Amino acid sequence: MRFAVAFSSPKRSAKTIEIAAAQAKAVNAELVLLRIIPDPEKVGVIAQLISTDRPQDKARMQIDGMVKQLAEQGIAATGIVKLGRVASDIIKTALEIKADMLFVGTTSVGGRKLPFMKQDPIVHYLVDHCPISLCLVRHDINTQTYPGTESASSAVAEVLAEEDGDD
């Protein structure tokens, strides 16, 4: 069994990885962290002119750090970093790796909407278009730690401490 996790950064993805890691450990599944970086060629001329390899290098370093932490917990994990169209390439890559489920972190799903809060277009695209099972992990509410996630939480916290300020 294989689970994909849409990854944005160690800090923003910590809860999603924590939940996915607990599930992967419970069913002996492999985790694949997916980081899709917007392709400067698709964004516009200015983005092309100022683009560097730094975002890809930083993403690769962050993914490698998380993969190492997961491996230390006994969870088989790999990471993929690609340039592309974020939402559609998350789906495309999840299908390519034959993921059984896609874990995605989200905020502002349900609950009270405030005029200045925008809904996450990537999450909404995934909900509308993803042909595989999708697990939305809420980041905007205080939730309890679930049994069996304590080790995942501590490992994620260690990576966050190392990455603090790198967002």
Write down the pLDDT at residue 108: 57
Write down the pLDDT at residue 20: 96
pLDDT in tens, 4-46: 999 988 888 999 999 999 999 999 999 999 999 987 666 654 5
Domains of the chain in sequence order: 2-157 (3.40.50.620)
Buried b (16+ CB within 10 A) or exposed e, 15-43: bbbbbbbbbbbeeebbbbbbbbbebbeee
**Tokens representing 81?**
């970093």
The stretch 77-82 carries a mean pLDDT of: 96
Write down the pLDDT at residue 63: 95
**Is 17 in contact with 44 (CB distance < 8 Å)?**
no
Write down the pLDDT at residue 78: 97
User: How are strands ordered across the β-sheet holding 30-38?
Assistant: 77-84, 30-38, 2-6, 101-106, 133-138
pLDDT in tens, 105-146: 987 555 555 454 456 788 889 999 999 999 999 876 554 444
The pTM assigned to this predicted structure is 0.74
